[in-house]
Chains A and B, each alone.
Chain A
Amino acid sequence: MSQATKTAGVVPGRAAARAGRLRRRGPGRRGYLVGALCVALCTVMLLPLLASVLASVKPTEEAAATPPTYLPHAVSLDSYERLWHYQQGLLTYLFNSFGTAMLTIAFTLLLTVPAAYALARFRVPAKEFVFVILLLALIVPYQALLTPMFLTFAKVGLTNSLVGLAIVHTAIQLPFSVYVLRNSFAAVPRELEEAAVVDGANSYQALRKVFLPAAFPAVVTVALFAFIMSWNEFLGALVMMSKGSKFTLPLVLAAARTETSLGGTDWGMLQAGITISIVPCVAVYLLLQRYYVSGLMSGAVK
């Protein structure tokens, strides 16, 4: 506090103007305090990620050193190379993770776009009931449904299959997607739709030419959430995939944590895997942040 009081006199003009809205006594003092807090928080949040990335480029012996080094003494891609060749090879796991995520996006959109369209614009019998059924998975945790799903999937050959896992992920993601898309289709102006109908468009053409372009941000949001959920999901994959060749990235890394090479966990390789798993999520989040936050808001208003 005393530190902050000392700085009260030197208020930069820009900060003062910015703080104008919240102005009470001493906006500058508050400004510096907030600034310091923000920087401290960012540091705390980023340190674990940074530590992991740095550990992933340590040479093999250094990555296994105890006590650990904070900064790599030399840079090496050994850990990535070991990960590349680990068991079935990194490419297999990347393929499984990406494949499942892409299938999940496809299934989710194919199912929820028409459903949300109908809920937003058609007079369907018992519409409220239909909506509740579609949102059922919100109150029934999928964790509880995995055992019966596994038994059914085992009978029809959908275990150890990307399609099977994508079905589980689609079931998880369906309520959110229906909800977001329905609201977004409902917000499309009636006049736009009517203009298309007057021009002779049928309902499918209206969906394609009017609703999908108008609600494009919501479609991006739904795809983005489906990707991040599927890429990260753990328990469903753990239950459905028992063959090593079908493991997704989180599964193989979790298995590798107890695996022994060099007489212990291969920490360097683990950090390489963590870094590779994190990059796509953070990248799509930073690129599509607007869609992500708007999806979060509209999904949470319920």
Chain B
Amino acid sequence: MYRGWRRRWLGLLYLSPALLFVFAFTVWPLLQMAWMSLHNWSLISPPTWVGLDNYTRALHDRQFWVSFGFTLKYTLIITPILIIGGYLLALLTSGGSRLRRVTRTVLFTPVVIGLGVSSLLWYWLFSTDFGLVNAALRDLGVIAEPIVWLGVDADRSNLAIIASVVWKVIGFGMVLFIGAIQAIPTEVTEASVVDGAGFWQRVTRIILPLTLRTVLLVTLLSVVGSLLAFDQFYIMTAGQPQNQTSTSVFFVYLNSFPYLKLGYGAALSMILALTILAFTVVQLLLTRRSHA
């Protein structure tokens, strides 16, 4: 047997490629970003130290707050839809019948499609003159004139994009919820049936409390994912009108790449990363407590 010091060093040897990789491509960029955020830097001129100026500048930048507010609004609308909708779908399809299994597979299929590609698909469906959404609404007599869904009104764009993202990701939460529901011991549900509990009573008194941890986890994943939204807005509205639909990540992207304000972009990235971290910590604390 290979025990003792040899095993320790051997273990480190096996770990070293992954550790080096993480240092080079996660830890190092993180440190670089922190350094950059304290400098004024465009690619043309050399970096100059400005302390926390980039951060105070962000707090006084109107667009920073527009982007942050819009991202928050998007997150606050889409998360309940994904959680409640996903949970209802899980309750509907968690059984073992063939139809339910097929439905599960179908509901999950859009999850494996890329967000960029699904956004392009919905960009077409929601297009004013060429899209099937307007065509169907008009043929059903709901609207007389085509609606301009994307890029003209921020709220209407938001709704259209939310519809497309719900279509794409609702199956993700559903599958995790199904896993949690199926993990409930059958004796527990059977006992409640014997006690005469109705379906909704069983859901609210037994199934929901026993799967609360998963609900919180999916909420966390959904909140973080939504706060980092980019692809769907870049493709479907390109931030229009007047950058009202450019999300936080979009704003970082605009500053870092097209505008090449590298220091400012880095400060915005730091703020973004810290926001995500704060949300994660709060949610993890909540998960802990609910578990205990």
Contacts and interface: CB of A to CB of B under 8 A. Distances in A.
Interface string B124-165: 110101111011001000000000000000000000000000
Contact of B29 (A112, A148, A265): A148
Contacts of A271: 121, 124
A141 B276 contact: yes
A24 interface: yes
A118 B11 contact: yes
Contacts of B105: 286, 289
Q: Specify which of A48, A70, A178, A302 lies most central, judged by the most chain B CB atoms within 10 Å of its CB.
A: A48
B148 to A, nearest CB: 14
Interface stretch (A2-10, A74-82, A215-223, A231-239): A231-239
A64 B29 contact: no
B292 interface: no
Contact of B235 (A110, A257, A302): A257
Interface string A77-101: 0000000000000000000000000
A235 B12 contact: no
Contact of B135 (A35, A68, A118): A68
A262 interface: no
Contacts, number: 279
B114 A234 contact: yes
Interface in B1-42: 1-2, 7-8, 10-15, 17-19, 21-22, 25-30, 32-33, 36
A26 to B, nearest CB: 11
B70 interface: no
A250 B125 CA distance: 17
Contacts of B102: 38, 42
B130 to A, nearest CB: 5
A267 B124 contact: yes
Given A139-B277, A140-B26, A38 B11 contact: no
A187 interface: no
A147 B256 contact: yes
Given A140-B30, A171-B25, A148 B116 contact: no
A147 B114 contact: no
A234 B269 CA distance: 18
A212 B103 CA distance: 34
Contacts of B93: 38
Contact of B116 (A38, A49, A111, A232): A232
Interface residues of A, number: 100
A114 B17 contact: yes
A167 interface: yes
Contact of B249 (A231, A235, A292): A235
A38 B21 contact: no
A125 B99 contact: no
A183 interface: no
B178 to A, nearest CB: 9
A274 B122 CA distance: 11
A163 interface: no
A261 interface: no
Most interface-central of B11, B33, B231 (chain A CB within 10 A): B11
Contacts of A235: 230-231, 234, 249, 253
B272 interface: yes
B114 A152 contact: no
Nearest to B236: A257
Contact of B18 (A174, A194, A253): A174
A192 interface: no
B17 A115 contact: yes
Interface in B38-82: none
B136 to A, nearest CB: 8
A73 interface: no
Nearest to B114: A232
B280 interface: yes
Interface in A10-56: 15, 18, 21-24, 34-35, 37-39, 41-42, 45-46, 48-49, 51-52, 55
11 contacts: A38-B103, A118-B13, A136-B22, A148-B36, A149-B25, A178-B18, A232-B116, A254-B116, A281-B112, A285-B112, A297-B176
Interface of A: 15, 18, 21-24, 34-35, 37-39, 41-42, 45-46, 48-49, 51-52, 55, 64-68, 70, 110-112, 114-115, 117-119, 121-125, 130, 133-134, 136-137, 139-141, 143-152, 167-168, 170-171, 174, 178, 194, 197, 202-203, 228, 231-235, 238-239, 249-250, 253-254, 257, 265, 267, 270-271, 273-274, 277-278, 281-282, 284-286, 289, 292-293, 296-297, 300, 302
Given A22-B95, A48-B167, A235-B249, 11 more contacts: A22-B193, A22-B199, A39-B99, A124-B12, A133-B27, A134-B19, A141-B272, A147-B269, A151-B262, A250-B117, A300-B221
Interface of B: 1-2, 7-8, 10-15, 17-19, 21-22, 25-30, 32-33, 36, 89, 92-93, 95-97, 99-100, 102-103, 105-110, 112-117, 120-125, 127, 129-132, 134-135, 138, 167, 172, 175-176, 179, 186, 190, 193, 198-199, 214, 217-218, 221, 224, 228, 230-231, 234-235, 249, 252-253, 256-257, 262, 265-266, 269-270, 272-273, 276-277, 280
